[in-house]
C-alpha cells in the first residue's frame, strides 16, 4: 500500500519554506517566509502562530511555494506582497519605487522636531497642525515621506515631486489609500527645477504647466495649482515657496553597485538608487534649488548616504544656511542633514 502523504499544515509548510530560503542565502529568511505565508493565506502573524496544525489547501500551498521560489530567486518580499510599512502606515510598493527604509523615518522625526521648535521660537504653543504650511518632498517615490508628514500635520499642504511618472502614480495611490489627496499635489520634475515658470505671469494666470506635469490624486493632469491654495507669486516668477523641503534623493554611487544586495541591485529602480558615480552628485543642485524655493526661516531636511556627509555638509554655506544639524541613525551613521534658510 502506498504511504499517505502527510497533510500540509501551517507548521510544515513554514518549516519547508524556512529551509528553502535559508539554502538560497536569503537574509531574514524566517521573517520573509512568515510574511509570504501571511500574504498567501490573507492572515496575520497571530493567526499563523495560533494555528500551527491548520491544514493548507493545495492551491494555497502552491501559491505560497510559488512566492517562496521567487523570493529564493532574489525578488524582494515587498514586491511579492506589494506593501511595506513606514511610519506605522502601510504603503503600496511596486518595482517602480524604492521600498521605504526604516532609516528614512529619521527624516520625518527631524522635520517634525524642527517645525515644532520653530513654533516654540515663534511663541506658538498649540499642537502643530501644519496650518498654512507648504511642504515639498523631492524624489517622493512611493510618497512615504510626503504622506507620513501629511498624516502628522493634518492641515499642511504637500507637494510630492519625482522625475519618474511611474513613481508618481504609486505615490498618488498611496495618498488615496491614506486619505490625504485633498492636501497633496504631484509634480513631475527634475529636482525642483521644473517648478520655475518659464514665463512671467499675472497673479491670476496659470503657470505654464508644460513640461511639468501637475497631478492630483485622480490622475488627471491638473493645470491650476493656484486653485489648490498655493500662494500667488510675489514676483510673478514662480508661485512656489515652501516652509519645509524634505528629500531622500538617490545617493548610492555607481561604483558601489557591486556591493549592493542582489534584491536591491536587480529589483529596485536604478533612478531611485544611483546619484552618480560617487553617489552624492545630486545634492549640490538640490541644496541650491532648495535655497531658492524655501521661505526665509524655511527648513531643509535631507537623508544622506552612509558616507555622504563630508561631501554634502560643506554645500550648506553659512551665508545662506543656519542651524545646521546632523542626526545619526540607529546604527550611528550620520543619516539626516538639516538646516534653516537664513
Binding site for ligand SAM (CB under 6 A): 97-98, 100, 104, 138-142, 144-145, 161-164, 167, 190-191, 248-250, 271-272
- What is the Cα–Cα distance from 10 to 246, expressed in whole angstroms? 43
**Nearest distance, CB of residue 141 and ligand SAM, angstroms:** 3
Q: In what order do the strands lie in the sheet with 321-328?
A: 213-215, 184-188, 157-162, 134-138, 242-247, 294-303, 334-341, 321-328
- What is the Cα–Cα distance from 257 to 330, expressed in whole angstroms? 24
The position carrying cell 531574514 is 28
**Nearest distance, CB of residue 100 and ligand SAM, angstroms:** 4
**Nearest distance, CB of residue 159 and ligand SAM, angstroms:** 12
CB nearer ligand SAM, residue 32 or residue 144: 144
CB nearer ligand SAM, residue 64 or residue 159: 159
CB nearer ligand SAM, residue 205 or residue 213: 213
**Nearest distance, CB of residue 110 and ligand SAM, angstroms:** 13
CB nearer ligand SAM, residue 21 or residue 191: 191
φ and ψ at residue 241, rounded to 5 degrees: -140, 135
CB nearer ligand SAM, residue 34 or residue 105: 105
CB nearer ligand SAM, residue 104 or residue 290: 104
CB nearer ligand SAM, residue 139 or residue 298: 139
**Nearest distance, CB of residue 335 and ligand SAM, angstroms:** 12
Other Cβ atoms closer than 10 A to 85: 12
- What is the Cα–Cα distance from 143 to 149, expressed in whole angstroms? 10
Cβ atoms of 34 and 68 within 8 Å: the answer is no
**Nearest distance, CB of residue 226 and ligand SAM, angstroms:** 23
CB nearer ligand SAM, residue 207 or residue 249: 249
Cβ atoms of 239 and 195 within 8 Å: the answer is no
**Nearest distance, CB of residue 147 and ligand SAM, angstroms:** 10
**Nearest distance, CB of residue 279 and ligand SAM, angstroms:** 11
Amino acid at each position: 500500500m502506498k504511504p499517505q502523504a502527510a497533510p500540509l499544515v501551517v507548521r510544515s509548510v513554514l518549516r519547508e519554506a524556512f529551509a528553502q530560503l535559508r539554502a538560497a542565502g536569503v537574509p531574514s529568511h524566517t521573517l520573509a517566509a512568515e510574511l509570504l505565508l501571511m500574504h498567501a493565506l490573507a492572515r496575520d502573524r497571530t493567526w499563523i502562530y495560533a494555528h500551527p496544525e491548520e491544514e493548507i489547501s493545495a492551491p494555497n500551498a502552491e501559491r505560497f511555494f510559488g512566492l517562496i521560489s521567487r523570493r529564493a530567486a532574489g525578488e524582494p518580499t515587498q514586491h511579492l506582497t506589494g506593501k511595506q510599512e513606514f511610519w506605522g502606515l502601510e504603503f503600496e510598493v511596486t518595482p517602480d519605487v524604492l521600498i521605504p527604509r526604516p532609516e528614512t523615518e529619521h527624516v520625518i522625526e527631524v522635520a517634525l522636531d524642527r517645525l515644532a521648535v520653530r513654533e516654540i521660537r515663534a511663541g506658538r504653543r498649540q499642537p502643530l497642525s501644519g496650518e498654512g504650511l507648504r511642504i515639498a518632498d523631492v524624489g517622493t517615490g512611493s510618497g512615504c515621506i510626503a504622506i507620513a508628514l501629511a498624516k502628522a500635520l493634518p492641515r499642511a499642504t504637500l507637494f510630492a515631486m519625482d522625475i519618474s511618472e511611474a513613481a508618481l502614480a504609486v505615490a498618488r495611490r498611496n495618498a488615496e489609500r491614506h486619505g490625504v489627496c485633498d492636501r497633496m499635489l504631484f509634480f513631475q520634475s527634475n529636482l525642483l527645477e521644473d517648478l520655475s515658470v518659464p514665463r512671467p505671469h499675472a497673479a491670476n494666470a496659470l503657470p505654464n504647466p508644460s513640461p511639468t506635469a501637475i497631478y492630483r490624486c485622480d490622475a488627471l493632469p491638473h493645470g491650476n495649482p493656484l486653485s489648490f491654495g498655493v500662494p500667488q507669486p510675489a514676483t510673478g516668477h514662480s508661485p512656489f515657496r515652501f516652509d519645509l523641503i524634505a528629500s531622500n534623493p538617490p545617493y548610492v554611487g555607481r561604483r558601489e553597485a557591486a556591493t549592493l544586495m542582489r534584491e536591491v541591485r536587480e529589483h529596485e529602480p536604478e533612478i531611485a538608487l544611483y546619484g552618480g558615480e560617487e553617489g552624492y552628485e545630486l545634492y549640490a543642485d538640490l541644496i541650491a534649488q532648495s535655497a531658492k524655493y524655501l521661505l526665509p526661516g524655511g527648513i531643509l531636511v535631507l537623508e544622506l548616504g552612509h558616507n555622504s556627509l563630508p561631501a554634502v555638509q560643506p554645500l550648506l554655506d553659512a551665508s545662506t544656511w543656519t542651524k545646521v544639524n546632523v542626526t545619526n541613525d540607529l546604527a550611528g551613521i550620520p543619516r539626516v542633514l538639516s538646516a534653516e534658510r537664513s
